[in-house]
């Protein structure tokens, strides 16, 4: 057995073991911090089914699923754009989701003054989750429109940057007109796993079941793209079709994750780097392993967020930004020294 294959197997087994431990830790992390004794007492209490079964369990599973979608989307984006700094929010999905949430919050604030009640009722039925998902997809579609499709990678990348800036400016403009929406926007921007329930887990799980096979289906195309677009064309690849499929997968995975947990930073960026560092492999393995690493990273941050300053919680997006950013800074420093 080759060394590369051994490293892939070891990484997979390590991720499985660590995920199992973190799932148990997530069930044990409550309002008073992380404690096995507290978990035993909770399970033996009269409210065990509600506390563990309806609050901790779906939050723990939902955190892993959200991280898995972000890790998968990050690996897809980096393979598609052939850029190790690409992340799931590159095509304007993050700014679009933020704008959708802010519009709902602003409309709710204006409703208190009797303005736009019909619009508020419609947005209320859609909800923050639907608004975030719709906004994320709108951001990606706007990027595709501005880039005139997905034929040119550089144009698509630049269009994503422009759309992100414009939608962020619109979001700031709305919060200026409706300051009451600013607090809700801040919570969304920092990311949170505290609102994940079984419904969220079902949506996230179905999204992962759809996106993972689609990414696997086009993994060989990503391998070919590493040789350059001309080489990929010479191998008979239909690059426009490949880009459309990968962008659709990226948008679906990112939109679902953002709509359920807000803007969780750095998970989608760091997860593929960790996989390539410990077990370099073709994209077929990298994509699925990045999903596992992303789920592990976000679940780790979620357990820490509930335990560091209990009974208060640290926003999980702050922890992922600190941990992920710290890792990337260390990696850059090490490469510079080398």
pLDDT tens-place string over residues 157-204: 888 888 989 988 998 888 888 787 777 777 778 888 888 889 889 999
Query: Which CATH number characterizes residue 76's domain?
Result: 1.10.3470.10
Distance from C-alpha of 315 to C-alpha of 306, rounded to nearest angstrom: 9
Q: Which pLDDT value is given to residue 115? A: 41
Full residue range of the structural domain in which residue 26 is found: 3-337
Tokens coding 210 = 């759809």
Candidates 247, 254, 263; CA nearest to 320 is 263
Q: Which pLDDT value is given to residue 125? A: 43
Q: How confident is the model at residue 209 (pLDDT cuts 50, 70, 90)?
A: very high
* Total domains in the fold of the chain: 1
Candidates 287, 253, 251; CA nearest to 272 is 287
Q: Which residue has the higher pLDDT, 105 or 170?
A: 170
Q: How confident is the model at residue 328 (pLDDT cuts 50, 70, 90)?
A: confident
Q: How confident is the model at residue 317 (pLDDT cuts 50, 70, 90)?
A: confident
Q: Which residue has the higher pLDDT, 138 or 119?
A: 138
Tokens coding 65 = 């699923």
Print burial letters for 252-277: b (CB count within 10 Å at least 16), e (below 16). Answer: bbbbbbbbbbbbbbbbbbbbbbbbbe
Torsion angle (degrees, nearest 10) of CA 87, 285, 255, 92: 30
Pairing label, strands 33-34, 29-30 = antiparallel
Tell me, letter by letter, the H, E, C secondary structure of the chain: CCHHHHHHHHHHHHHHHHHHHHHHHHHHEECCEECHHHHHHHHCCCCHHHHHHHHHHHHHHHHHHHHHHHHHHHHHHHHHHCCCCCCCCCCCHHHHHHHHHHHHHHHHHHHCCCCCHHHHHHHHHHHHHHHHHHHHHHHHHHHHHHCCCCCCHHHHHHHHHHHHHHHHHHHHHHHHHCCCHHHHHHHHHHCCCCCCCHHHHHHHHHHHHHHHHHHHHCHHHHHHHCCCHHHHHHCCCCHHHHHHHHHHHHHHHHHHHHHHHCCCCCHHHHHHHHHHHHCCCCHHHHHHHHHHHHHHHHHHHHHHHHHCCCCCCCCHHHHHHHHHHHHHHHHHHHHHHC
Q: Which residue has the higher pLDDT, 328 or 257?
A: 257
Candidates 111, 245, 230, 122; CA nearest to 180 is 111
Candidates 149, 178, 309; CA nearest to 242 is 149
Cα distance between the two ends of the chain: 30
pLDDT at residue 59 tops 70? yes
Tokens coding 186 = 């801040």
Tokens coding 101 = 């949430």
- Report yes or no: 187 and 262 within 8 Å, Cβ to Cβ: yes
**Can you say how many angstroms the Cα of residue 224 is from the centroid of all Cα atoms in its chain?**
26
Q: Which pLDDT value is given to residue 111? A: 60
Q: How confident is the model at residue 34 (pLDDT cuts 50, 70, 90)?
A: low
Q: How confident is the model at residue 143 (pLDDT cuts 50, 70, 90)?
A: confident
Q: Which pLDDT value is given to residue 98? A: 86
Please give the average per-residue pLDDT across 138-143, as a whole number.
87
């Amino acid at each position: 057995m080759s060394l590369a294959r051994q490293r892939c197997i070891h990484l997979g087994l390590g991720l499985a073991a660590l995920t199992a431990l973190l799932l148990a830790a997530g069930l044990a992390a409550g309002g008073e911090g992380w404690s096995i004794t507290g978990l035993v007492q909770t399970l033996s209490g009269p409210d065990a089914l509600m506390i563990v079964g309806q609050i901790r369990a779906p939050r723990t599973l939902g955190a892993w699923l959200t991280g898995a979608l972000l890790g998968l989307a990050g690996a897809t984006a980096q393979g598609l754009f052939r850029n190790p700094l690409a992340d799931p929010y590159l095509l304007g999905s993050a700014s679009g989701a933020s704008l959708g949430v802010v519009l709902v919050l602003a409309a709710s604030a204006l409703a208190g003054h009797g303005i736009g009640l019909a619009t508020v009722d419609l947005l209320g039925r859609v909800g923050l989750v639907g608004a975030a998902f719709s906004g994320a997809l709108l951001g990606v579609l706007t990027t595709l429109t501005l880039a005139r499709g997905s034929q040119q990678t550089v144009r698509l990348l630049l269009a994503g940057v422009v759309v992100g800036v414009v939608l962020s400016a619109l979001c700031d403009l709305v919060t200026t007109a409706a300051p009451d929406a600013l607090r809700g926007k801040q919570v969304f921007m920092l990311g949170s796993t505290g609102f994940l329930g079984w419904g969220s887990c079902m949506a996230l799980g179905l999204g992962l079941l759809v996106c993972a096979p689609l990414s696997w289906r086009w993994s060989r195309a990503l391998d070919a793209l590493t040789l350059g677009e001309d080489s990929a064309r010479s191998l008979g690849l239909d690059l426009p079709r490949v880009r459309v499929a990968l962008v659709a997968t990226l948008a679906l995975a990112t939109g679902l994750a953002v709509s359920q947990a807000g803007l969780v930073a750095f998970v989608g960026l760091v997860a593929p780097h960790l996989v390539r560092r410990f077990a370099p492999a073709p994209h077929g393995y990298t994509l699925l392993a990045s999903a596992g690493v992303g789920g592990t990273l976000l679940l780790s941050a979620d357990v820490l967020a509930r335990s560091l300053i209990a009974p208060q919680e640290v926003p999980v997006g702050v922890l992922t930004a600190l941990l992920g950013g710290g890792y990337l800074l260390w990696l850059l420093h090490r490469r510079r020294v080398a």
